[in-house]
Amino acid sequence: MRLNGLVLAAVLALGVASCGDSVETGPGASGVEKSKAWSALTFEEKAAVCDWGAAKFGGYAMQMDCPDGSSIGSFPNQQACIDNLPADCGATVAQYEGCVNASNCASGIAPPACAPLIVCFQ
């Protein structure tokens, strides 16, 4: 799996908890339970989280060009998003949503809120 300029926003995909917050429960912005780990999600839940993350960038295969020449955007399609995070990733939906919300041209593709997702690649 590679970490790239696309939505980490499993990738690495958003009121959302970030890595330092206490565990929250209830549906996140994606509609999926915030406290569930990626590894515990059903295919349908992963799809919902990925769809939500893609929508933050205008849909799948969308990107914004940054002034420094880099770009940030969504995965090419839903399956690419689902496949980006390892199946055993322990990051929660809240952490995924927080990462997507924090990803912008100023913060780059790996802001501090994305640390729980980055750990999944180590």
List of residues 6+ apart from 106 with CB closer than 8 A: none
Q: Are 54 and 78 in contact (CB under 8 A)?
A: yes
The Cα-based distances of 118 to 5, 63, 65, 89 in angstroms read 13, 21, 23, 10
CA–CA gap between residue 87 and residue 120 (Å, rounded)? 9
Q: Whole-model pTM?
A: 0.78
The pLDDT score that the predictor gives to residue 34 is 95
The Cα-based distances of 104 to 6, 67, 69, 72 in angstroms read 11, 11, 13, 7
DSSP 8-state secondary structure symbol assigned to residue 29:
T
Local mean pLDDT, 10-residue blocks, the chain (122 residues): 39 33 67 96 97 94 92 94 94 94 86 92 85
The pLDDT score that the predictor gives to residue 25 is 64
Number of H helices, E strands in the chain: 4, 2
The pLDDT score that the predictor gives to residue 22 is 45
| The CA-based dihedral angle spanning residues 107, 112, 116, 117, taken in that order and rounded to the nearest 10 degrees | 20
Helix (H, G, I), strand (E, B), or coil: what is residue 25?
coil
